[in-house]
Amino acid sequence: MTPILVGLDIGGTSVKAVAVSPGDPTGPALAEVRHRTEPGESGIRAGITAAVHSLAAEVGPDAEVAGIGVGIPGFVSRGAVSHAVNLGLGAEPLDLLPTLRSLTSGPVGVENDVNTAALGAGGWVARHDPGVDDYALLNIGTGLAAGLVLDGRLRAGATGMAGEIGHLVFDRSGPTCPCGQTGCLELYASGSGMRRTWSGTARQLLDAAAAGDPVAVRTAADLTAGIAHAITLLAYAPDVALILVTGGVVSRNPALRRAVTARLDHDDHTVVGRAVPVGDRVRWLPEDVAVGTRGAALLVAEGVRV
């Protein structure tokens, strides 16, 4: 038999899956597949089952699923997920553990997708910043959230909310957030926040701001300041050695990365900034680094430190 660990990254549009060797979970992939996401309880369960079976078939007839880890958006507690709007899940928790246990007799695990991405980024960190085992992964996409790896271990927190900085208040005079608060950071430092006042992409926003469009100038300033604030929060609160920044809003936008870097460099010239600089701790994670599926597999890899 060929034992495999399976990592699943369930997103709003696709279910990505990887099979790795239990003896070398950070090594080469044995197989990778991608399926279209079908929202809702039955669709998610069916998607997991189909992806696991597809991976096993890719590996070969002697494949044996030795463990399954899942990264999924939303609130995750003890294997159940809720409030994953893009997946058609509301407040009623969906327990994924029975589905996973029907597919393997080995260990299973479910975690928030940003947390699993943080875990999966460990291989990239090891190659580019050897010896670092304290870092945060800041994901700037439709929303805003971070995952924390401290002393080489994923830190989800006492309630699973570690790194959920999107709903910290950034501007008390700002607009009302869907969460019910006023001026949340996610309203500024995310794709959905940008679209409050701008209908195009982040790249188009920066181009229009450079051309002097007043709406674009204000929106770009808010976006830049919000992202820089999120990075600084992660540098000062858990005091991690590195902040990895990823997500569609920044990954495809060199101009935005330059603007955020300039803002951080400016702040690093303050009294506090000179004492504890933030800018040199930032790493822009390349878009093609598959951290989600790898992190999900690592959830069930025995004794693994990133």
Domain 131-284: CATH class, spelled out: alpha beta
Tokens of 296: 């999900």
Label residue 284 by pLDDT band (50, 70, 90): very high
Q: Are 122 and 79 in contact (CB under 8 A)?
A: no
Quick: pLDDT tens for 81-92: 998 888 999 999
CA-nearest of 120, 118, 151 to 136 is 118
**What is the CATH code for 2-120+289-298?**
3.30.420.40
Torsion sign across C-alpha atoms 279, 227, 158, 122: negative
Q: How is residue 86 annotated by DSSP?
A: G
Q: Are 67 and 107 in contact (CB under 8 A)?
A: yes
Quick: pLDDT tens for 158-216: 888 899 999 999 999 999 998 889 999 999 999 999 999 999 999 999 999 999 999 99
CA-nearest of 111, 154, 149 to 133 is 149
Q: Is the pLDDT of residue 306 over 60?
A: no
**How far apart, in whole angstroms, are the C-alpha atoms of residue 188 and residue 168?**
11
Sequence ranges of the domains in the chain:
2-120+289-298, 131-284
> Could you give the percent of the chain with pLDDT greater than 90?
83
- Range in 10-24, 54-68, 219-233, 258-272 the model is least confident about: 258-272
Quick: pLDDT tens for 30-47: 999 999 999 999 999 999
Where would I find the H helices in the chain? 41-59, 97-101, 113-120, 122-128, 191-194, 202-210, 214-236, 248-251, 254-267, 271-275, 291-298
**How far apart, in whole angstroms, are the C-alpha atoms of residue 109 and residue 296?**
8
Looking only at the bridges linking them, the beta strands covering 242-246 and 63-72 are: unpaired
CA 57 to chain centre: 28
Instruction: Give the type of residue at 44.
Output: I
Q: Are 256 and 224 in contact (CB under 8 A)?
A: yes
Q: How is residue 21 annotated by DSSP?
A: B
For range 230-237, the mean pLDDT: 95
Q: Is the fold of 2-120+289-298 the same as that of 131-284?
A: yes
Q: Is 151 exposed, middle or buried (0-12, 13-18, 19+ CB in 10 A)?
A: exposed
DSSP 210-239: HTT-HHHHHHHHHHHHHHHHHHHHHHHSS-
Instruction: Give the type of residue at 25.
Output: P
Label residue 305 by pLDDT band (50, 70, 90): low
Tokens of 107: 């260990």
Q: What share of the chain is helix, strand, coil (3-state, %, to 5)?
A: 40, 25, 40
Instruction: Give the type of residue at 247.
Output: G
**How far apart, in whole angstroms, are the C-alpha atoms of residue 299 and residue 107?**
9
Q: Are 112 and 120 in contact (CB under 8 A)?
A: no
Mean pLDDT of the chain: 93
Chain length of the chain:
306
